[in-house]
């Protein structure tokens, strides 16, 4: 046997195994639906000024931060929940939620892994986070200083994990510090780097921006903070892992990423939650500032619990994400794979302020059973020769509703700008819906705007071909859908792309036949 | 739900000068219902999502803004190219001397004002308008149903030898026109209706068209060339099995135009095409043109097309809001929508919201929207062949509009409209 055939056999074997695994995955339901019985430290239920004060106090925040929160809270009380989306849901009772929950064992930092609540460790192990990182995430003192298990040659990802309301740990901190990168929880940043936080927090998504962002401004308990100094290419990918564990708990995280001149960072975000019968609230805000020649790549795999096949339970996901391309030639790219949540209300946007700046939005939104997604982007062209590209793939199955909603705006001064938008929807089954609501506003004639949208069902010929090659119907659909999403999957960092590809298959489980 | 105060006040102000016609007769009940609808909705305001791109205040103000009429003897009016049964309204008032006798082979034709108890129209008047109020409020159409002073009622049941032409003449600089036409096409019958001319200083015209199985309704409209007038129209159509509805509108000039189409395909195999070409130069007079289309597919195998083209110059504003709604079970739907605009200078604007809302899986629906300047390469090619820049630009503009004009089946009508566009371009020489 030649080396080549051995290689080929090996490759074939691994492909076969992947297929077997994928099929095994298909038969399972939501993978991250377990919950950790862990002792939690809750603030009282409901939302009042006292709760806002309590959150601020627990995070040991300075006075200006408390004032900022209180102002947001007072404003929030005067606002009305928006009703323009295509989402239909029973009104959320904001007084029935917990706004602060923290693992009780985190009150005092454990000295070694033995002191860590084993349940917390179990949680991260189940999520597939390596032991060394588990130590840090569990908050073991001195763990950051211990030599990393990962060899230098291996691809490294620094993780900040947020468990319910608080950040439980950030890995690879020392190594990042060497490069001058600040990557920590936002509560820590408020204490350690107040000058940066004060300068940038709310400068992209003001506290008054919209109902959910205002709520977040008042009660955000934690989140991640990233600062990449001038000229630095962040040595590894940064990642935040969000998990909602406690029942009736809202998670309100706030992420602030500042990419200074000529800097680069790739940032990954993942989310899971246990299966609960009741709907849980998630209202996050992500702000990105890109200065001259900076580039930020932000990738999300959102896999919050979507509810069961009868539409009971699941996360209500109301997220405001916005990037400000402040500097000339800056670039921000949003890539999202939205497979979870009962409700998704999310429009990652780019303000293209700097001349020659670029914005990209690649999205896959998959809804199955009774899920509803209303998602898309806004590209606001203000600077000259700004460019944006939108590729959105919506897949709807079961009784789900999937909406693309977007805005492309060319201001009079945004001369010679360019936008290309492609929104494709795929329908699987006759009881789901796919909708497209684009807004296009062009106020100068040297810019070109193109928008295309199509809606269709899974191609019968492609399905037939796959079935004829021995695939069952569900596998065939998963393969065709993966092909449909290819353009977006290719925009994801590699590890994420693999996960996303599997998610595509799992999310569509039970949608055929 | 109670209306916001500002809306309630604006509605009361608009209604203050209006009263239901004393001789409403058989249409009274429908008019009272429409008035109730209007009062519940309130008049449109800029903050309404459906009026996001167009300010409706000129339509809801109690006073009509002055809009002098223009005599335009240089042009062959649409409708004159063939022998037609002509009905003339001058500033919204029926002109018996200029009109033909209201009778024609294969159809019943009458005026709304003073019509005896016409049973077929009684069941239709305000009915399609009321159906078109969900999911979006169309208060201006409800206002029209309640207060329309006149209109034409046509029922086609046999072979029509003379197609019908409704001609509008505008004389009074403050005229406020409310006309409501009702068309009923019986099974396998067909009608071509032409509407031509500016209806008044301010006009609000509604057409309700009910097309039975196998029926066909062709509608071509030319909104005239006046500058200062404001016009809103709403065409409501209901299509039975294998019914055909085709409508085309040409708009050149006009301070404010809002043309709405609300079409329901209720029978299998129906075909609905709506198209429009708009051209405006805002150098001396404002130009704001809004096409708003809502097509509902609620049957199998239906086809719909929306083709809208706009050419905008010197700060002219073009708006397109189009929607294809495919209801659950409306399989094999073929829906297509294209909205394009050509901006001839830095100041013009195009605002669009092309929507799809789809609840059936075996469909092929697509929409496209593009905005940009004249293609420099095409222009360069023409100039390299010896065509001067002005005529070359005009040629490209006409080519751009052609896709919409191609939606007109009758070549004579298309020819008249093409000549009008050429004339417009020569008067508004580009560059």
B348, B361, B371: residue with CB nearest A449: B371
For A17-31, A461-475, B127-141, B374-388, which range has the lowest pLDDT when averaged over its residues?
A: A17-31
The pLDDT, as a whole number, for residue A512 is 61
The pLDDT, as a whole number, for residue A151 is 42
Task: Quickly state the pLDDT bin for A312 (edges 50, 70, 90).
Answer: confident
Q: Which structure tokens are listed for A352?
A: 């293209």
**Minimal-distance CA residue of chain B relative to A400:** B359
Pairing of strands A358-367, A378-381: unpaired
pLDDT mean over A453-458: 87
Task: Provide the CA A403 distance to its chain's centre, in angstroms.
Answer: 18
Residue range(s) defining the domain that contains residue B349: 5-427
For A159-173, B64-78, B196-210, B227-241, which range has the lowest pLDDT when averaged over its residues?
A: A159-173
- pLDDT tens-digit readout, A187-224: 889 999 999 999 999 999 999 999 999 999 999 988 88
Pairing of strands B152-156, B107-111: antiparallel
pLDDT mean over B321-350: 94
- pLDDT tens-digit readout, A278-290: 778 889 999 999 9
Residue B400 above 80 pLDDT? yes
> Can you tell me the distance from the alpha carbon of A166 to that of A40, in angstroms, rounded to the nearest whole number?
11
Quickly list DSSP for A242-300.
EE--STTB-B-BEEEEEE-TT-EEEEEEEEE----SSEEEEEEEEEEEE-TT-EEEEEE
> Can you tell me the distance from the alpha carbon of B13 to that of B231, in angstroms, rounded to the nearest whole number?
20
Task: Provide the CA A303 distance to its chain's centre, in angstroms.
Answer: 9
Q: Are A324 and A354 in contact (CB under 8 A)?
A: no
The pLDDT, as a whole number, for residue A24 is 42
> Can you tell me the distance from the alpha carbon of A247 to that of A338, in angstroms, rounded to the nearest whole number?
22
Q: Are B76 and B419 in contact (CB under 8 A)?
A: yes
Interface contact B366-A444, CB threshold 8 A: no
Interface contact A439-B353, CB threshold 8 A: yes
* pTM as predicted: 0.86
| More reliable by pLDDT, A270 or A126 | A270
Q: Which structure tokens are listed for B361?
A: 């899986």
Number of domains in chain B: 1
**Backbone torsion region of residue A218, taken as left when φ is above 0, otherwise alpha when ψ lies between -120 and 50, otherwise beta:** alpha
pLDDT mean over B194-214: 96
The pLDDT, as a whole number, for residue A292 is 97
Question: Whose CA is closest to A390, among A366, A412, A414, A406?
Answer: A406
The pLDDT, as a whole number, for residue A31 is 62
Question: Whose CA is closest to B37, among B130, B148, B149, B124?
Answer: B130
| Percent of chain A whose predicted confidence (pLDDT) is above 90 | 43
The pair phi, psi for residue B48, each rounded to 5°, is: -70, 140
Residue A150 above 50 pLDDT? no
Interface contact B353-A438, CB threshold 8 A: yes
| Percent of chain B whose predicted confidence (pLDDT) is above 70 | 99
The pLDDT, as a whole number, for residue A40 is 66
The pLDDT, as a whole number, for residue A15 is 43
For A117-131, A361-375, B16-30, which range has the lowest pLDDT when averaged over its residues?
A: A117-131
Residue A462 above 60 pLDDT? yes
> Can you tell me the distance from the alpha carbon of A182 to that of B126, in angstroms, rounded to the nearest whole number?
66
The chain-wide mean pLDDT, for chain A, equals: 81
Query: Sign of the CA dihedral B149, B285, B57, B372?
Result: positive
Task: Quickly state the pLDDT bin for B222 (edges 50, 70, 90).
Answer: very high
What is the distance in angstroms between the Cα of A341 and the nearest Cα belonging to chain B? 21
Task: Quickly state the pLDDT bin for A273 (edges 50, 70, 90).
Answer: low
Interface contact A455-B358, CB threshold 8 A: yes
The pLDDT, as a whole number, for residue B169 is 93
3-state helix, strand, coil in chain A (%, to 5): 30, 35, 40
| More reliable by pLDDT, A93 or A412 | A412
**Minimal-distance CA residue of chain A relative to B351:** A441
Residue A348 above 50 pLDDT? yes
Question: Whose CA is closest to B280, among B226, B352, B219?
Answer: B226
The pLDDT, as a whole number, for residue B262 is 98
Task: Quickly state the pLDDT bin for B280 (edges 50, 70, 90).
Answer: very high
The pLDDT, as a whole number, for residue A83 is 87
Q: Which structure tokens are listed for A122?
A: 């179990």
Residue reference for tokens 């305001």: B45
Burial (CB < 10 A; 0-12, 13-18, 19+), residue B55, is middle
Per the document, the length of chain A is: 513
Give Cα separations from A153 to A166, A212, A234, A408, B387 (angstroms). Answer: 32, 42, 16, 42, 65
Residue reference for tokens 């509902």: B296
The pLDDT, as a whole number, for residue A493 is 77
Residue A30 above 70 pLDDT? no
Best of A455, A461, A508, A511 to substitute, by most chain B Cβ atoms within 10 angstroms, is A455
What is the distance in angstroms between the Cα of A129 and the nearest Cα belonging to chain B? 40
Residue A22 above 50 pLDDT? no
Chain B interface residues (partner A, CB cutoff 8 A): 49, 328-329, 331, 341, 343-373
Q: Which structure tokens are listed for A308?
A: 């069961």
């Amino acid at each position: 046997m030649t080396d080549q055939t051995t290689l080929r056999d090996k490759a074939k074997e691994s492909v076969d195994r992947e297929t077997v695994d994928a099929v095994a995955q298909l038969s399972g339901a939501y993978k991250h639906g377990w919950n950790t019985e862990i002792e939690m430290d809750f603030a009282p239920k409901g939302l009042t000024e006292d709760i806002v004060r309590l959150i601020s106090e627990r995070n040991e925040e300075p006075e200006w931060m408390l004032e900022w929160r209180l102002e947001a809270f007072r404003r929030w009380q005067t606002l009305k929940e928006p009703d323009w989306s295509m989402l239909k849901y029973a009104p959320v009772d904001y007084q029935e939620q917990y706004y602060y929950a923290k693992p009780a064992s985190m009150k005092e930092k454990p000295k070694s892994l033995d002191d860590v609540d084993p349940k917390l460790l179990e949680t991260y192990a189940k999520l597939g986070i390596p032991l060394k990182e588990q130590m840090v995430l569990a908050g073991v003192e001195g763990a950051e200083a211990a030599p990393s298990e990962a060899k230098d040659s291996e691809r490294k990802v620094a993780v900040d994990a947020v468990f319910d309301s608080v950040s439980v740990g950030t890995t690879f901190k020392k190594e990042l510090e060497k490069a001058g990168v600040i990557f920590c929880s936002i509560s820590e940043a408020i204490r350690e780097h107040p000058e940066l936080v004060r300068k940038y927090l709310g400068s992209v998504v003001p506290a008054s921006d919209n109902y959910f962002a205002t709520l977040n401004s008042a009660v955000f308990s934690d989140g991640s903070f990233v600062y990449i100094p001038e000229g630095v290419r962040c040595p590894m990918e940064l990642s935040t892992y969000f998990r909602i564990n406690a029942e009736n708990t809202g998670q309100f995280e706030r992420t602030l990423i500042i990419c200074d001149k000529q800097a680069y960072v790739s940032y990954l975000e993942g989310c899971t939650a246990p299966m609960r019968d009741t709907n849980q609230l998630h209202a996050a805000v992500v702000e990105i500032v890109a200065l001259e020649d900076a580039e930020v790549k932000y990738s999300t795999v959102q896999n919050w619990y979507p509810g069961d096949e009868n539409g009971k339970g699941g996360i209500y996901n109301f997220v405001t994400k916005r990037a400000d391309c402040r500097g000339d030639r800056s670039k921000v790219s949003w890539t999202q794979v939205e497979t979870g949540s009962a409700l998704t209300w999310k429009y990652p946007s780019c303000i293209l302020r700097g001349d020659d700046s670029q914005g990209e939005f690649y999205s896959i939104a998959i809804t199955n059973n009774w899920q509803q997604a209303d998602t898309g982007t806004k590209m606001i062209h203000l600077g000259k020769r700004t460019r944006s590209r939108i590729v959105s793939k919506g897949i709807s199955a079961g009784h789900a509703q999937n909406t693309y909603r977007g805005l492309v705006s060319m201001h009079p001064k945004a001369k010679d700008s360019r936008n290309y938008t492609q929104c494709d929807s795929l329908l699987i089954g006759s009881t789901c819906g796919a909708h497209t609501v684009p807004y296009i506003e062009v106020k100068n004639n040297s810019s070109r705007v193109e928008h295309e949208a199509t809606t269709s069902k899974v191609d019968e010929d492609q399905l037939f071909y796959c079935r004829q090659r021995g695939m069952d119907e569900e596998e065939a659909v998963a393969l065709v859908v993966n092909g449909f999403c290819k353009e977006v999957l290719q925009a994801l960092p590699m590890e994420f792309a693999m996960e996303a590809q599997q998610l595509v298959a799992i999310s569509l489980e039970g949608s055929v036949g | 739900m109670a209306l916001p105060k500002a809306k309630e006040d604006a509605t009361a102000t608009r209604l203050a000068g209006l009263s239901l016609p004393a001789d409403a007769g058989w249409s009274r009940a429908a008019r009272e219902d429409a008035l109730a609808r209007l009062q519940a909705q309130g008049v449109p305001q800029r903050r309404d999502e459906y009026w996001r791109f167009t300010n409706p205040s000129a339509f809801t103000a109690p006073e009509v803004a002055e809009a002098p009429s223009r005599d335009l003897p240089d042009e062959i009016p649409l409708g004159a190219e063939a022998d037609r049964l002509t009905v003339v309204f001058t500033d919204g008032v029926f002109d018996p001397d200029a009109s033909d006798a209201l009778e024609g082979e294969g159809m019943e034709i009458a005026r709304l004002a003073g019509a005896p108890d016409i049973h077929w129209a009684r069941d239709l008047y305000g009915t399609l308008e009321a159906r078109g109020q969900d999911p979006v409020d169309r208060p201006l159409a409800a206002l029209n149903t309640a207060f329309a002073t006149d209109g034409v009622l046509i029922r086609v049941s046999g072979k029509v030898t003379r197609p019908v032409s409704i001609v509008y003449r505008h004389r009074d600089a403050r005229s406020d026109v409310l006309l409501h036409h009702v068309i009923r096409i019986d099974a396998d019958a067909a009608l071509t209706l032409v509407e031509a001319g500016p209806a008044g200083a301010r006009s609000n015209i509604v057409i309700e068209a009910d097309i039975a199985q196998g029926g066909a309704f062709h509608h071509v409209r030319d909104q005239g060339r006046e500058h200062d007038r404001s016009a809103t129209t709403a065409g409501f159509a209901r299509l039975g099995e294998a019914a055909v509805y085709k409508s085309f509108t040409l708009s050149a000039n006009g301070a404010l135009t809002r043309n709405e189409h609300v079409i329901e395909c209720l029978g299998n195999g129906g075909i609905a095409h709506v198209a429009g070409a708009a051209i405006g130069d805002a150098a001396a007079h404002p130009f704001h043109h809004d096409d708003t289309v809502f097509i509902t597919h609620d049957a199998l195998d239906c086809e719909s097309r929306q083709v809208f083209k706009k050419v905008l110059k010197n700060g002219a504003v073009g708006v397109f809001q189009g929607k294809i709604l495919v209801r659950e079970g409306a399989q094999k739907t073929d829906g297509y929508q294209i909205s394009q605009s050509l901006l001839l200078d830095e100041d013009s604007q195009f605002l669009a919201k092309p929507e799809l809302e789809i609840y059936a899986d075996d469909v092929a629906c697509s929409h496209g929207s593009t905005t940009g300047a004249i293609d420099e390469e095409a222009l360069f090619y023409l100039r390299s062949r010896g065509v001067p820049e002005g005529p070359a630009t005009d040629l490209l503009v006409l080519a751009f509009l052609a896709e919409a004009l191609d939606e007109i089946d009758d070549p004579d009508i298309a020819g008249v409209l093409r000549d009008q566009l050429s004339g417009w371009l020569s008067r508004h020489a580009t560059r």
